Chain A
């Protein structure tokens, strides 16, 4: 009986150490996660990216060019009857 109690106690202590270890690991991983969130947030900040782009000679375009397609906007879709859109007779 004494042996049983001692064994049970030892097992409980062992489990307790395992739980402690698991909790420590959770804490470490949570800390790592927060560090990564911090790093991601800082690296993706628009000001940082804009400054980096400026340092590397990039700049926004001066003007917007819009291209207009001329002619009949209605055109036969691929695979349509070739007579589609032809003047009727």
Chain B
């Protein structure tokens, strides 16, 4: 028996009603309860947020001249989904980007939505690529760090990586100041990636980084680097370091290390050239350290200026024999003669009068054994063994600068202390920062502390002036000017065991001028010159830089200082 049609119609109606109800419920869920979620998802698909990089702050020299600036650049990227013909696109881009077509084609064929084709390309180059109208190729705003003077002060400035973050030198030390704060722009785009007019367009502008104003004098730095490079070549040294410093406020006017590198192409630099050796590398200072022994002796009254010592040319210290640079008979010497002639034996005799404990105290007062706090990454503290680790020979060797290690900057600060009337001043590389609005915020005043009395500093200055005029430093003299300084010819310790290299030395000359009113301290250090001696290799380098300092800083000759008492005619 067949069912009546009305019942089938009712059943059909019921099914349809249920189907419509289901659709209605689903629509209600989609349009009402989940509407916001789907609206957001749809909007998300249309919104594109791009980061707006902040312009990195400049690094300036003390006169406001740029040492590091940031240039506008573009990152070139591809969205391979929209690249219609990878090979043709690669062939069009390759000559512009100067890369192999095959390499580009591989990038463009990747199963991804984003791939960099080139980073930090010049803006004009990016415009040329844009003019090709290639689908799937886009650009991101970027900036490129540029060092307009090339290798000038490279180790001091450092460099930045491909993502614009500081990797070395002041660039990394002042990253938080220089980097600024990135912004972002959110736009509503159509399926072809073009902004929809009248759509969402919200921008949070980036905050540019502040500029860092250094104490470096760009012209002085250039001159120091040139002088250093020529001195290294002339003396066939392995490298060298120069520091020029204002002793009154600790400002470092120039800080150069050789060999150097071009931070614009830091990837191509030789290993080790990145290091700012003036700050990060310690060396045994040798005779330049005798200034501390002399200052300690004078400050404590351990020896009178007129007091004469009978100095042999060699002396046994425990199982070792130490000696002066050249043989001589028993020689009567004042402390002034000892410094002028750079007598190791005389210095040891003076140090013994000072005593171990006082000597250790004065070494610390002059800043040895701890970083200067110049504000440079990786600064070395040098090596100053604590008093309880001193052996029977320590006092003797430390007195003439062996068995301890100091950075060139620490040693420059020692001489700056004498030049500054006995007051140690913390060296500094940065004068302050300048915000994007132009407000200059000076760096805190450098720390100072008294190391020796002003009277001691005056006496030691006279000794140093005599060492240049009549002693081992005559190659540093400049007619009309009285220069105070000391030579150093230091042996170089073996890296892996006790002992020293035979016949290899660090030659140095550290001094200041004019002796009566010091305005500049110069440390000139050469690593393993064939000419060996500080007085022969480093003093002329000091002299050349000092000559430039006189003209650059308009230094007047000053008045001549009385030489210290001498025991008699010197050999």
Contacts and interface: CB of A to CB of B under 8 A. Distances in A.
Contacts of B39: none
A13 to B, nearest CB: 9
Interface string B446-483: 00000000000000000000000000000000111100
A41 B480 contact: no
Contact of B150 (A34, A40, A45): A45
A46 interface: yes
A46 B479 contact: no
Contact of B66 (A37, A66, A68): A37
A66 B150 contact: no
B557 interface: yes
Contacts, number: 53
Nearest to B58: A37
Contact of A37 (B69, B150, B550): B69
Interface in A9-64: 31, 34, 37-38, 40-42, 44-47, 50, 60, 63-64
B123 interface: yes
B219 A63 contact: no
A37 B69 CA distance: 8
Instruction: Summarize B's interface: helix, strand, loop or mixed.
Output: mixed
B149 A64 contact: no
Contacts of A47: 149-150, 152, 222
B225 to A, nearest CB: 9
Given A37-B66, A64-B551, A46 B72 contact: no
A41 B69 contact: yes
Interface residues of B, number: 26
A42 B222 contact: no
A45 B152 contact: yes
Given A45-B148, A46-B219, A66 B480 contact: yes
A30 to B, nearest CB: 8
A44 B226 CA distance: 17
A66 B556 CA distance: 9
Given A46-B222, A47-B152, A66 B69 contact: no
Nearest to A67: B480
A66 B222 CA distance: 25
A40 B66 CA distance: 9
A87 B71 CA distance: 70
B517 interface: no
Contact of B146 (A38, A60, A64, A68): A38
A64 B550 contact: yes
Interface in B475-517: 478-481
Contacts of A37: 66, 69
Contact of B69 (A38, A60, A63, A68): A38
A24 B69 CA distance: 23
Contacts of B149: 41, 45-47
A55 to B, nearest CB: 16
Given A47-B150, A50-B222, A34 B71 contact: yes
Given A38-B148, A45-B148, A50-B222, A66 B557 contact: yes
Most buried by A among B123, B148, B152: B148
A64 B480 contact: yes
A46 B227 CA distance: 14
A63 B66 contact: no
B218 interface: yes
Contact of A34 (B72, B219, B479): B72
B148 A41 contact: yes
B134 to A, nearest CB: 23
B547 interface: yes
Contacts of A44: 65, 148
Which 4 pairs between the two chains have the least Cβ-Cβ distance?
Answer: A41-B148, A46-B222, A66-B480, A45-B149
13 contacts: A34-B71, A37-B66, A38-B69, A38-B146, A44-B148, A46-B218, A47-B152, A64-B479, A64-B480, A64-B550, A66-B479, A66-B481, A66-B557
Interface of A: 31, 34, 37-38, 40-42, 44-47, 50, 60, 63-66, 68
Given A38-B146, A41-B69, A66-B479, 14 more contacts: A31-B123, A34-B72, A37-B69, A38-B148, A40-B66, A44-B148, A45-B149, A46-B152, A47-B150, A64-B478, A64-B481, A64-B547, A65-B480, A68-B480
